[in-house]
Each structure stands twice: as C-alpha cells, then as structure tokens.
Amino acid sequence: MEERLAEESQRILEMIAPNVWLEALIVVLFSLIVAKIAELLLFNFFAKLIRKTQNNLDDKVLILLHRPLFTTFAVFGLMIASRILITELGEATFNILLAILKTIIILSWVGFFMRSTGAVLWSMERNPKHFTFAQRDTVPLIRNLAMVVLVLAGAYSILVAWDINVTGLVASAGIVGLALSFAAQDTLSHLFAGVAILADRPYRIGDFIVLDTGERGEVTSIGLRSTRLMTRDDVEISIPNGVMGSAKIVNESGGGDSNYRIRAAVGVAYGSDVDKVLKVLESVAADTEGLCDDPAPRARFRLFGASSLDFELLAWISDPSMRGLRVHELNCGIYAAFNREGIQIPFPQQDVWIKELPTNDGDDPQPSDASDQ
C-alpha cells in the first residue's frame, strides 16, 4: 500500500520539488499535519458522543488512543518518504528502515491494547452485577492471559515485519514445549488446578476456609500455582493448587450469607431447673458484644449426658475470623453467670461396686460401696 502511495506522491511532488530529499521532507511534514488534523477531528467528534455516556471507560480508551493513532499516521508518512528515497538509501538500508518503522507501529498498538485491556477489566470489576465473571480473584488471571496473547501476537507481527521465517521457530517451540511438559508435570498440574479454582470459585479472596488437614485461615491470594492463607497466628501458608483442587474445603464465609454460627456447649447437674438454665444462657448471649441480632442467639437443651444435662448456646457472628474470641467470651460469661445463679456444672463421676469373693466358711459376702472414685 505504501509503495503505491509513494509512487503517486513522487509523481505529484516531481512537479513541485525536483530533489528527492525535498520530496521526502514534504511527505513527512504532510503526514504530520494529516495526523494532527485527523486526531483533532476524530477526538472532537467522539468526545461529544462520549459525554453522553455514564461511565468513564470510553474516556480512558479515547485518551489511550491518542498516541498509537498519531504514531501510525506519522510513521506511515516516514515509510512513504523512505520509499521515495530507496534509490538514495539502497535496497538493504531501505528494508531495515522499513522493518524498524513497522516495529514502531506494532509496539504502539500492542501497548494501546495492553493498557486498554487493563482499563476494561478494571471497569468490569467495578460492575460485578453486569459482569459476573470479572471478580477480584478472576481479573488477574484474565489480565495475565490477555497480556500473554498480546505479547505473542506482537512478537509474531514483529518477526513477520522483519521477514523472519517463523515456521521453523514454531516447530522448535513445539518440541521445546513437549519436553518442558514432561519435565514440569507437577507445575503444570498446579497451573491447571489454579485455572479450575479461579473458574469454579469454591472460595474467594477474603474467605475463611478450613482444609481437611486442619489448616484454617483467610484466603489472601489465589495464584496460578498456589493459594495463600493467613492463619489467626499471622502465619502465611502457601498451598499448591494441585493439593487445593483435590482437598475437602469448608468455606466458613460461603453460602448465601457471610455470617457464621458459633456454639458454646455446657453441662449442668441433674436436678437443675431447665427453664432457668435456658434463660441464663440467653441473657449471657444478650450481654456479649459482637453477636448478630438477626438471627437472634438461642439456647437449646441437647442431650441427657452420662453426668450432666447438656445445653448449647447458638449465636451468629459477622466475621468468621472472630470465632475463637467470641466463643471465649461466651464461655467466660456462662461460667460467671452459673456461679452467680447457683447453677452447678458437674464433673464426670462414677460409682463402683466391689463384690467380695465367697469365703471358705460359707458366709455370704457383703457388698461394699466405694463411691466418687
């Protein structure tokens, strides 16, 4: 295309400037003027349309479009000018210069698409109702994949611009990829498991999860290779995604509501007033801070135990990370309230009857009682 434009431009410019260098300079100046005019006309026209929209995504994309658009017009003029000077520069120099100019255009547009992709994903993340797939934990994966695709496309275009045969490179890359796949099976398994976790989302960043191996903590990062948890001891645990993909995970922050239910179990002595115990337990929950009002705390008589009547106080908290502290506060309140109300908390006890062996004189053995052993 630039070759045909160069021939037409040179035919017209020969009537104005007999010197090819002057012709090339005129083409360059004309291309800069056209680039500026096109930029002003285009952005003034679209700016009026963009003002009618409610979001600012189109404003950001339009601002990002300034540089590649102006660069394309300007560099295209340089390409035409260099073709006019082909006899002066020589074939080899012209080919190198043309490849450099094409590379500049490719890099400018790759940079534009990278920045605009980040802006689009950022806008989608701020509107989770309309874009359910663009969440805080999936946006990094989508952005990384988009960056990889753009880099590969840009690299391929640059190789084509320099007239480099990519067939051999693609074949070599296939062989190298096959060798790496065998050498890094574990890494690839973690990588695919990470993609599956981000797609299925059994947990998200900020959730409190419990693994079947006992680890419990807040999810701080979901990477392509591993998931990181911050425990209540402020210790960070990094778990490979291959392990997370096959583990049984309890998500304490999952479900329709982020509230988490805690339980405080206690036993009272047989003969205690059940209604009084229930009333005291509910009053303890009412006096404890940090519990949810809806659903309200409740006390339940659960079991006739071996040495006690077993009760359970149920309450809800809004933050699963506070489970240990709230259960501690409930236990302290229950113990203090039971002492104040005279409700006995029994300890396990057992009665043992020992029967003596028969004596030689035939007397009946007398049982002896040993209690509270």
- Residue 46 has, within 13 A of its CA and on its CB side, a CA count of 14
Parts of the chain with a pLDDT under 50: 369-373
**Are the C-beta atoms of 316 and 257 separated by less than 8 Å?**
no
Q: Is 300 helix (H, G, I), strand (E, B) or coil?
A: strand
Taken as a whole, the chain contains a residue count of 373
- Res 135: pLDDT: 66
- Reduced 3-state DSSP string for 251-293: ECCCCCCCCEEEEEEEEECCCCCHHHHHHHHHHHHHHCCCCCC
Cα separation, 155 vs 166, whole angstroms: 10
- Res 5: pLDDT: 61
Instruction: Give kind and range of the element (H or E) at residue 330.
Output: helix 323-341
Phi/psi of residue 272, each to 5°?
Answer: -70, 155
CA distances, 29 to each of 67, 102, 337, 340, 352 (Å): 18, 19, 90, 94, 110
- Res 41: pLDDT: 74
Residue type for 56, please? N
Cα separation, 205 vs 135, whole angstroms: 10
Place of tokens 């547009």: 109
| β 368-370/352-354 pair status | antiparallel
List of domains in the chain: 2-164 (no CATH), 195-251 (2.30.30.60), 260-341 (3.30.70.100)
Place of tokens 């840009």: 154
Q: Is 24 helix (H, G, I), strand (E, B) or coil?
A: helix
> Is this model's pTM higher than 0.75 or not?
no
CA distances, 126 to each of 123, 267, 270 (Å): 5, 50, 58
**Are the C-beta atoms of 316 and 291 separated by less than 8 Å?**
yes
**Are the C-beta atoms of 206 and 253 separated by less than 8 Å?**
yes
